[in-house]
Amino acid sequence: MPTETLIRRKAGAAVAAIEERTPAHRDRAIDGLRALALLAVPTGHWLLGGFTRDADGTLHNASPLATLGYFAPMSWVLQMLGIFFLVGGYSSVLSYRRSAARGESTGRWMRGRLVRLGRPVLGVTAVWAALVPLLSAMGVPGGTVRTAAVLVVQPLWFVGIYAGVTALTPYCVRAARRLGAWAAAPLFGTVAVVDLLRYGPYGDAMPSWLGMVNLVPGWLFAYQIGVSWGEGKLGKRGGALLLGSGAALFALLLLVFHYPASMVGVPGETRTNSHPPSLLVLALATFQCGAAVLLRDRLAKVLRRPALWAPVVVVNLSAMTIFCWHQSAMLAAAVPSSFLGTFAGLTTAPDSLGWLLARLAWMPVFALALVAIGSVTRRFDAPWKGVNRGRRAVAAVLAGAFALYAFAVV
């Protein structure tokens, strides 16, 4: 039997098996939205992040956003944290409701959610704690090791934010039941006031830490909308309002109030939209949430097709693996290449359209590296059965050591 035919048969059997095991009540649209937001994370980091290489082979972080202004709109598409928090809020309230129906305490439900988030993070940081001295012993320049540490830690801040937001779920549920979809309005208002203070006429007189006030309300905003959606307090009329108002505000902030065009930080720029979140981030999240609500039924219908549904299931099952290890996958290609010279789109400066075309060619390589790494590291996502307390303690110490090292070099 030809190899191609054999692969098709195996793929078809896998697709059929996934379809057969999917419960009839499964909300395919929500899973589809989550998969879309998940895939946007590595895609964004792989496209909007790059390296420069010194003469001695040392790699440094670089971004095409620093020199190519027309890359900024790409960040509008790839920054899907609004969708991720929306789906997170929706899913959390359903899980919280099921837990309460089983008679479980809020504390037990919370511990379960936080442990599932913490295990993969502990795994990736513990592994990299062991890799740092190993890479140094293998002759990898110290600057490259520091660059790698920064890249690995870079997306993990999101897990901490998401864990904190998840811990607020009971309060979000109460707010949704009392105020409906408008429960997110005070969060939006807080960010708007803080932005007015730090960017308005008296911005020079404001303390530098003021922006940090936006950290919780900024990321809780879309999560609260998701909770309201899960509570049945947000319908298509509300979705249309979110879509229209988000688009209008986004345009206003860009064109009239001159917010930075990029949704992510740009090297060399003193002002950023994402750390902490600005009102522009919330405007984009508002638009994304509205689009998700309006497109939910269509998406659910499309994902009734087994061939489209199967990849969504695979991505969702590998969510934390993708999130925690995608930067390592890029480094797996870049670090060895740095010993051999410069490679277009990988270790050359990201300052031209040619770099983008070359980087697109590297994307499948990164993806294959992620699949290979994930085949080994997925065990960190599952409960650590058979791992005794001593080994867990060692993993925790290693993770803590890597965190201290990484934050020291940021």
| Pure H helices in 264-352 | 279-302, 306-317, 319-338
Q: What is the pLDDT along the chain (410 residues), one digit of tens a residue?
A: 566 666 677 778 888 888 888 888 889 999 999 999 999 999 999 998 889 999 888 999 998 888 887 778 888 988 898 999 999 999 999 999 999 999 999 899 999 888 888 888 888 988 998 999 999 999 999 999 999 999 998 888 888 899 999 999 999 999 999 999 999 999 999 999 999 999 988 888 889 889 899 999 999 999 999 999 999 999 999 999 999 999 999 999 999 999 998 888 777 777 888 888 999 999 999 999 999 999 999 999 999 999 999 999 999 999 999 999 999 999 999 999 999 988 999 999 998 889 999 999 999 999 999 999 999 988 887 776 666 677 777 777 777 777 777 776 66
Q: Which neighbouring-strand residues pair with 144?
A: none
Given the structure tokens 């971004």, which residue do they identify?
63
Alpha-carbon torsion (297, 302, 307, 308), positive or negative: negative
CA distances from residue 390 to 109, 114, 128, 291, 394 in whole angstroms, order as listed = 26, 21, 19, 48, 6
The rounded distance, in Å, linking the Cα atoms of 205 and 202 is 6
Given the structure tokens 């984009």, which residue do they identify?
284
* Two tokens, residue 274: 């994402």
- Give yes or no for a contact between 91 and 231, defined as CB atoms under 8 angstroms apart: no
The rounded distance, in Å, linking the Cα atoms of 175 and 210 is 26
In eight-state DSSP terms, residue 277 is B
In eight-state DSSP terms, residue 380 is G
pTM to 2 decimal places: 0.92
3-state secondary structure of 274: strand
Write the single-letter amino acid at 136. S
- Give yes or no for a contact between 89 and 172, defined as CB atoms under 8 angstroms apart: yes
Burial of 322 (0-12, 13-18, 19+ CB in 10 A): buried
Alpha-carbon torsion (204, 284, 246, 213), positive or negative: negative
The answer to whether the bond into 350 is cis (omega within 30° of 0) is no
The rounded distance, in Å, linking the Cα atoms of 389 and 166 is 27
Alpha-carbon torsion (370, 372, 375, 377), positive or negative: negative
CA distances from residue 13 to 1, 17, 107, 213 in whole angstroms, order as listed = 16, 6, 41, 51
Given the structure tokens 């098996």, which residue do they identify?
17
For the chain, helix (H) and strand (E) counts, in that order, are 16, 2
The rounded distance, in Å, linking the Cα atoms of 93 and 172 is 9
Give the phi and the psi of residue 60 in degrees, each rounded to 5.
-130, 145
